[in-house]
């Protein structure tokens, strides 16, 4: 059985910022427990999905062994667990810096699950996709949700938060040659870097109530900042440059080395970006966003955009609900933290 010859899907895979990230320490299973507020931004990779007999991934702007490519791993996982014999040509065009703390690989993996679910017309629910996403990485489930969320536990216990609207992010990235960066950074943490999560929970509390202000957004931390300043040469210089250029505050995202600050309007962000021009790093100006653009063409019926600022370029009619194919994990029990719709 092959995919419909006319169906093509194109999706954006957004980057994310950790507005606050605390490490609470390792649990009994050895995994670190975290509390973090994540938010997607408009900076995004682009993935296109086209039908063909075999599975193939083409990466533009990224030279990565196939076994380390999360797009390939996500596609093979969905293919194996659903039992489908369909193939696809997946083209990934990178815009998010690799190994930056911006979540590009995790976002690409989540977007692959969504895109192939559409292309192959599997009709899998979000809960089933979430169960698959958890096997690919701690951040992958968040990118099925997008927008803003509080993540706890290993980072995959999610509670949706209202998106932070109208704010712009100035992101500075220093290229690094550190391999297996996340594991390396966790290895640099000491007991002094662990906290109780209260700052992150306080930020989530304010956002949940729509209390967004410069003071609230400045209220956050990143447990990896001390380790990152040791691990990445030039990071302290970059941080000081951002402050001297007028950034109200500077924070690490993820395990770094990308740094960011938030400003209330584009003009302020443009001015800050201009002041930070340097061959030593790359600077992005991007907005906080709830949902990136998506396009589907072919036998699916396109609908009109949701309206100005929605970020949805086109939407497709939902396929009929089907029985879950053999081998797919059962969806997790619905909890308040996972009971989002749309």
Give yes or no: 156 in active site.
no
How are beta strands 168-173 and 259-263 bridged, if at all?
antiparallel
Helix axis angle for 126-134 and 70-82, nearest 10°, is 120
**Is the bond preceding 257 in cis, omega lying within 30 degrees of 0?**
yes
3-state secondary structure the chain: CCCCCCCEEEEEEEEEEEEEEEEEEECCCCCEEEEEEEEEEEEEEEEEEECCCCEEEEEECCCCCHHHCHHHHHHHHHHHHHCCCCCEEEEEECCCCCCCCCCHHHHHHHHHHHHHHHHCCCCCCHHHHHHHHHCCCCCHHHHHHCCEEEEEECCCEEEEECCCCCCEEEEEECCCCCCCHHHHHHHHCCHHHECCCHHHHHHHHHHHCCCCCHHHHCCCCECCHHHHHHHCCCHHHHHHHHHHCCCCCCEECCCCCCEEEEECCHHHHHHHHHHCCCCCCEEEEEEECCCCCEEEECCCCCCCCCCCCCCCCCCCCCCCCCCCCCCCCCCCCCCHHHCCCC
One of 16, 114, 181, 273 is an active-site residue; which one?
16
One of 108, 139, 156, 273 is an active-site residue; which one?
139
Give yes or no: 127 in active site.
no
Active site residues: 16, 139
């Amino acid at each position: 059985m092959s995919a419909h010859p006319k169906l093509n899907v194109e999706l954006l895979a957004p980057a994310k910022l950790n507005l606050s990230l605390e490490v609470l320490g390792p649990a009994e299973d050895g995994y670190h427990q975290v509390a973090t507020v994540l938010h997607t931004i408009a900076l995004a990779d682009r993935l296109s999905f086209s039908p063909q007999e075999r599975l193939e991934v083409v990466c533009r702007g990224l030279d990565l062994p196939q076994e380390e490519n999360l797009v390939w791993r996500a596609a093979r996982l969905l293919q194996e667990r659903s039992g489908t014999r369909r193939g696809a040509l997946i083209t990934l065009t990178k815009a998010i810096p690799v190994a930056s703390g911006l979540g590009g690989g995790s976002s690409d993996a989540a977007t692959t699950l969504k895109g192939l679910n559409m292309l192959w017309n599997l009709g899998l629910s979000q809960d089933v996709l979430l169960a698959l996403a958890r096997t690919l990485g701690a951040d992958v489930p968040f990118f099925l949700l997008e927008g803003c969320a509080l993540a706890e536990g290993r980072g995959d216990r999610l509670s949706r938060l209202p998106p932070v609207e109208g704010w712009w992010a100035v992101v500075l990235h220093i290229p690094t040659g550190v391999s297996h960066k996340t594991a390396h950074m966790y290895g640099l943490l000491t007991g002094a870097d662990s906290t109780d999560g209260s700052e992150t929970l306080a930020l989530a509390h304010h956002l949940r109530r729509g209390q967004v202000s410069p003071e609230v957004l400045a209220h956050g931390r990143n447990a990896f900042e001390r380790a990152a300043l040791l691990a990445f040469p030039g990071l302290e210089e970059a941080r000081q440059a951002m402050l001297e250029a007028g950034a109200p505050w500077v924070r690490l995202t993820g395990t770094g080395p990308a740094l960011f600050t938030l400003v209330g309007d584009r003009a302020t962000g443009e001015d800050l970006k201009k002041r930070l021009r340097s061959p030593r790093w790359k600077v992005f100006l991007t907005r906080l966003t709830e949902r990136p653009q998506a396009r589907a063409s072919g036998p699916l019926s396109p609908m009109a955009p949701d309206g100005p600022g929605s970020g949805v370029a086109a939407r497709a009619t939902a396929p009929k609900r089907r029985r879950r194919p053999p081998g797919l994990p059962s969806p997790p029990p619905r909890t308040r933290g996972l009971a989002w719709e749309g």
